[in-house]
């Protein structure tokens, strides 16, 4: 479980809704060690000819196998530094000054309110995720 002081610093660390709402599909090469892939292939399964999916996210009630969370209380990705590019590309609402439709949709689906600019008050820039390259 994430320590409360840490969880309060970044809204995602007390959420986890996106990881338990969306299918996480990506190009197969992101999980292929011989192609420079970083996503652990054992945590994925084939989806279509050129795609893999994080295990657990293609069911009717998705939940990523790498997610360690109690939605709305604490959340941590077990492979954060090796997560698929599609995960890194989804910003939290207002993290960078604008709402995120995906973040809002996932939070609302789990009974959590959409984030507001006020949820970022006091969160240092150093702990916000950098924009995807």
Q: What is the pLDDT along the chain (133 residues), one digit of tens a residue?
A: 444 444 347 899 999 999 999 999 999 999 987 777 899 999 999 999 999 999 999 999 999 999 999 999 999 999 999 999 999 999 999 999 999 999 999 999 999 999 999 999 888 776 665 444 3
Does any domain span residue 52? yes
Does any domain span residue 123? yes
Does any domain span residue 53? yes
Does any domain span residue 21? yes
For residue 77, what are its two tokens? Answer: 């990705």
Q: For the chain, how many structural domains are there in total?
A: 1
Q: In sequence order, what are the residues at sequence separation of 6 or more whose Cβ sits closer than 8 angstroms to the Cβ of residue 102?
A: 18, 22, 90
Does any domain span residue 29? yes
Does any domain span residue 133? no
Distance CA(74)–CA(121), nearest Å, equals: 19
Residue-range definition of the domain harbouring residue 94: 4-127
Distance CA(43)–CA(120), nearest Å, equals: 32
3-state secondary structure of 53: strand
Largest CA distance in the chain: 45
Q: In sequence order, what are the residues at sequence separation of 6 or more whose Cβ sits closer than 8 angstroms to the Cβ of residue 20?
A: 62, 63, 64, 67, 69, 71, 106, 110
**Contact, 64 vs 6, CB < 8 A?**
no
Nearest to 114 by CA among 101, 96, 130: 101
């Amino acid at each position: 479980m994430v320590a409360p002081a840490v969880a309060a610093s970044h809204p995602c660390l007390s959420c986890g809704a996106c990881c338990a709402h969306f299918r996480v599909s990506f190009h197969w090469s992101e999980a292929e060690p011989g192609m420079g892939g970083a996503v652990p292939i054992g945590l994925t399964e084939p989806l279509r000819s050129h795609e893999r999916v994080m295990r657990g996210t293609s069911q009717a009630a998705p939940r990523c196998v790498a997610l360690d969370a109690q939605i709305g209380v604490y959340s941590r990705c077990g492979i954060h530094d090796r997560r698929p590019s599609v995960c890194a590309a989804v910003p939290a609402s207002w993290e960078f000054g604008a709402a995120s439709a995906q973040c809002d949709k996932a939070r609302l689906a789990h009974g959590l309110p959409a984030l507001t600019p006020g949820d970022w008050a006091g969160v240092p820039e150093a702990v916000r995720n950098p924009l995807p390259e």
